[in-house]
Chains A and B, each alone.
Chain A
Amino acid sequence: MIPRSDPGWIAPFRARYDVWWAAARPLVAAHDYAAAFKTYPWPAFDTAPWTPVAMPVAAARLAVVTTGGLYRPGVDRPFDAEAPEGDATWRAIPGDTPLGSLAIAHAHFAHEVAAADMNTIFPLERLEELRRAGALGALAPTHYSTMGYAPNAADVAERTGPAIAARMRDEGVDAALVVPV
């Protein structure tokens, strides 16, 4: 049997999360993330979900998901970098968006590398080069950004992930490259 994602962890996680957040919130407000996350109620999974690769990668259509909090200024609403409980929303970034036009809302990492070269967290230009070289079938019309700081894993699992997956299915995406930031 092919393991699929099992939502059974979500309800107990939400209960533990609410208890954790009540204690963690003042620590987060004080920017003491190390202390806050020492007791984070990590969900426990028995199996990894799995879908076999159905085609050669050289024929596959790929989409990228970065958690770098990228958005298009003047077009997309920025992620809320100030929200104590993070931001579990997502942005759709068209594949022809110039990388230099993207802004970074994620405040919990050093931006210098990505500011110098966005391919380091959102490698669309490098992937296009590989596509032209025949290593990849196609790039999806749309790629995605979420926010790296989104501690409510249940919200990500029930809202963020399914919404992005639905969009990917509509665009015939075969595989997703998830880049954590």
Chain B
Amino acid sequence: MSNNPAATARVRAPRWVRVRFPRGAMFGEPGNRAKQRAVLRDTLAALAAIAEPGGSVDLPYRWEAPPVQWRGRPLREGSYS
């Protein structure tokens, strides 16, 4: 999994899914079981579907809670640090 496509592509992960969640919350909001399961189902589907080394699938889910705060600043979509 990755929320940092540039770094993941650089290290040539065998196969990966891109999520648009903040760092430390790769499966969505805490307690949102349905979304977490959806992310995992799609990830498992990608395991079967990706047919080429380095292939990836972009998952459509978005963070739907107040931004996670890190060192006094909100982490926005695509924040991985």
Q: Is the CB of A129 within 8 A of B37?
A: yes
A74 at the interface (CB under 8 A from B): no
Please tell me the number of chain B residues within 8 Å of chain A, measured between CB atoms: 36
| CB neighbours of A177 from chain B (8 A) | 1, 43
Q: How far is the CA of A43 from the CA of B7 in the complex (A)?
A: 11
Q: Is the CB of B47 within 8 A of A178?
A: no
Contact of B68 among A43, A110, A126 (CB under 8 A): A110
Interface residues of chain B: helix, strand, loop or mixed (majority)? loop
A160 at the interface (CB under 8 A from B): no
CB of A162, distance to nearest CB on chain B (Å): 16
A165 at the interface (CB under 8 A from B): no
| CB neighbours of B69 from chain A (8 A) | 110, 112
Q: How far is the CA of A175 from the CA of B16 in the complex (A)?
A: 12
A120 at the interface (CB under 8 A from B): yes
Contact of B48 among A51, A57, A121 (CB under 8 A): A57
Q: Is the CB of B27 within 8 A of A119?
A: yes
| CB neighbours of B45 from chain A (8 A) | 57
A8 at the interface (CB under 8 A from B): no
CB within 8 Å for A51 and B14 given contacts A120-B30, A130-B40, A180-B2: yes
| CB neighbours of B37 from chain A (8 A) | 126, 129-130
